[in-house]
Amino acid sequence: WDPWADPAEAEEEYVITPLADQPETGQYDAVILAVPHREFLAMGPDRIRELGTPGAVLFDVKSVFEP
């Protein structure tokens, strides 16, 4: 999910289909934070971690949050 991404461009450039809405919690084995959009910063690391299953990995590509 990326609220700033253009779905058509993402499909054409990266061959992926972004989620249209914010994902539900507890569904993913890994969560990748690749861009520091204000929506993600407002969520904070704990809320972002909640998107994953227990023990899920959080990849903070841009080192937005403290480890």
pTM tops 0.85: no
CB-neighbour burial class of residue 58 (10 A; exposed 0-12, middle 13-18, buried 19+) = middle
Give yes or no for a contact between 26 and 51, defined as CB atoms under 8 angstroms apart: yes
Q: Render pLDDT for 6-20 as a digit per residue (tens, 0 to 9).
A: 999 999 999 999 888
Q: Render pLDDT for 42-64 as a digit per residue (tens, 0 to 9).
A: 999 999 999 999 999 999 999 99
